[in-house]
Structure 1
Amino acid sequence: MFSKDIGIDLGTANVLIHQKGKGIVLNEPSVVALDSKTRKVLAVGEEARLMLGRTPGNIVAIRPLRDGVIADFDVTEAMLTHFINKLNLKGFMSSPNVLICCPTKITSVEQKAIRDAAQRAGGKKVFLEEEAKVAAIGAGMDIFQPSGNMVIDIGGGTTDVAVLSMGDIVTSESVKAAGNAFDQDILAYIKKQYKLLIGERTAEDIKIQVGTVYADGRNESLEVRGRDLVTGLPRPVTITSQEIEQALRETIGVVVQAAKNVLEKTPPELSADIIDRGVIVTGGGALLHGIEQLLMEELKVPVFVAENPLDSVANGTAVMLENIDRLSDL
């Protein structure tokens, strides 16, 4: 019989939903547009993202998840309800089981908030799994063997680093240095260096088109437009890859340090496996230019970017959903 069970990668930047037997059925930005006076939801997902920084006074486009956790419970619930309704999963007699991925180090209060939001959005049974573990499975790692596997999942709000063996996390670390922090670094650099104000979407475009985290790894430039802080008028400036490498240096340093910390806490037998197998990088941050070379240089082990890094967590939920009966016993 056709199953309605779903796995949700509840990301700070994007929400991906995998339906059992169907694959990824939804991939939309985690953005909700509200009427600030009535708190009525006007748009969700891609439609709301297009409104970021471009709304009149009474409409606000917000991201209800910050640093991998729920910052606004009601809006997150509204967003999940919208997405689940959009997939038309709730039958007359049945509701879908929901598997949600969350960062490795969230508190029990935050876990309860995510669970409650999913249940009120229409989930029957709600299971939580750690993002790094699911990302490793989605990237094709066999974490159920007695050998060491290391994953670095660079998302929108958090970077989760973990070493896994025998189907569970041996040692891990979660830091709030990820995609959104990179965007803020670019925004702050241009404001300080050029006295120019740009929006978050422009900062993200710069990161994708000319950004790099590896010195001399890329040599490109991009003209961007923003508001001059002195005159208040629009003005263009040209930004280079070298400048972005400089702007991102501090935040990417936090990610590298987190990976080093995890390696230092890893038992020697598992460390030997990681030298053989290498480290897999997943999440949107895996697409950042130069990340592979930088991590390889700093960690002194082979580093590989997952085949579809943006979909790793959602694809991992597919494997977990196949074993949802075992999850039910937990």
Structure 2
Amino acid sequence: MFTNVEIGIDLGTANILVYSKDKGIILNEPSVVALNLDTNAVLAVGTEAKNMVGKTPANIVAIRPLKDGVIADYDMTSSMLKEIMKKTSKELGMSFRKPNVVVCAPSGSTSVERRAILDSVRSFGAKNVHLIEEPLAAAIGAGLPVDEPIANVVVDIGGGTTEVAIISFGGVVTCNSVRIGGDKLDEAIIQHVRKTYNVLIGERTAEMIKMEIGYAPIEHEEMLMEVRGRDLVHGLPKTITLNSTEIQRALRELLLQLLESVKATLEDCPPELSGDIVDQGIMLTGGGAELNGLQQWLAEEVSVPVHIAPTPLESVAIGTGKSLSFIDKLQKISM
């Protein structure tokens, strides 16, 4: 009746993804919890909770228990994981207990942050829990030959952090992590609209602007978008028109910091592996990899071929699931 199930979890700042070896990605939900402040009861998790952001009464708050790729609110993360696991068991269509779980952790996370991740996953009854570094999981999910002595460069742009790593022979050779991701880009857009137009927009609106008219290169075909927000002078709803050039300017400083991180990682690369990078190029993963023109802009700036993973948003989750088959080998190398 009960079966041991192997699953991989991408515990991301913006989204939680669950991967099963047999069924692939079985769950992809935002990392948001809706909480009733009066009773401390969890009202909704995932997509349902995200739809409540900025639209709830005062006693209900939608919070994100993960910040910069690590657990900021332990109790909320545990509650969220329990709800996610309930949904997972329904998706798998069978009762299961004691699953074997691989969960990813940012490469720059401290031992305390890693312990919090392990404890929160164990709290719903996992049999064995393994941690895998996020860039390594992203590389496996993107289909790179990580267990060979070849340089694999991964730039994983998540919601809270960007991880840049060179991976060879199943381990991370050199890595840089910057706390710049999709959330920081959204924040930059909110601040730009506030300063320029005296209009306040929400996080979801900023995310839509980024996806539709956010560009990395300076030179691009200009696009316009109508946006609604609250006028800070009169307090009334207001519609403004934004163009892609001003959004590119708003994002430029953060993108340059991201570029510096990529360059710093490449500078730390051992000379033997540098030749491989010219041939293999750089692999972009994570939701931020889908920013318009990022691939072309990065390739021009670092003079190295840049590729985007087939499913950038799902790469880390797929990698955590696939790594179950050779997790012991990976851990021996990392030890």
TM-score where L is the length of structure 1: 0.96
C-alpha displacement of 1:170: 0.2
Structure 2: segments with no counterpart, 5+ residues? none
1:115 aligns with 2:118: yes
Q: Contact 1:281–1:306 at 8 Å: present in 2 too?
A: yes
Checking the alignment, whether the CA contact within 8 Å between 2:213 and 2:244 is kept in structure 1 is yes
Corresponding residue to 2:243 among 240, 243, 252: 240
The structure 1 segments of at least 4 consecutive aligned residues displaced by more than 6 Å after TM superposition are 89-93, 327-330
Question: Partners of 1:139 and 1:93 in 2: how far apart?
Answer: 29
RMSD (CA atoms):
1.8
| Structure 2 residue 325 is the aligned partner of structure 1 residue 322 | yes
Counterpart of 1:84 in structure 2 is 85
Instruction: Indicate the larger mover: 198-207 or 248-257.
Output: 248-257
Greater CA deviation, 213-222 or 54-63?
213-222
Gapped runs of 5+ residues in structure 1?
Answer: none
Structure 1 residue 254 corresponds to structure 2 residue 275 = no
Task: Specify the alignment match of 2:224 in structure 1.
Answer: 221
**Structure 1 CA distance for aligned equivalents of residues 301 and 201 of structure 2:** 32
Q: Distance in 1 between matches of 2:237 and 2:5?
A: 50
**Mapping of residues 67-78 of structure 1, within 5 Å:** 67-78=68-79
The aligned length equals 330
Cα deviation, 1:127-170, whole Å, max 9, x if unaligned, reads 11011011011111101111111000000000000001111100
**TM-score, normalising length from structure 2?**
0.95
Say if 1:93 and 1:182 are closer, same or farther in 2 by CA, change over 3 A: closer
C-alpha separation between the residues in 1 aligned to 2:22 and 2:94? 17
Q: Deviations over 1:38-96 (max 9, x none)?
A: 22100000000000011100000011101101110000000001111222279888310
2: CA distance, partners of 1:234 / 1:154? 33
- Deviation for aligned residue 1:218: 3.6
- Residue matched to 1:124: 127
Partner residue, 1:199: 202
Please say if residues 101 and 129 of structure 2, whose CA atoms lie closer than 8 Å, have aligned partners that are also in contact.
yes
8 Å Cα contact 1:212/1:218 also seen in 2: no
Contact 1:90 1:96 (8 Å CA) reproduced: no
In the TM superposition, what is the alpha-carbon distance from 1:299 to its structure 2 partner? 1.0
Question: For residues 93 and 53 of structure 1, do their structure 2 counterparts lie closer, same or farther at Cα, with a shift above 3 Å needed?
Answer: closer
In 2: Cα distance, 1:274 partner to 1:267 partner: 11
1:34 equivalent to 2:35? Answer yes
Q: 1:170 to 1:327 in 2, by over 3 A?
A: closer
Distance 1:245 1:139 in 2: 28
Equivalent positions of 1:114-153 (< 5 A) are 114-153=117-156
3-state SS of 2:240 partner:
strand
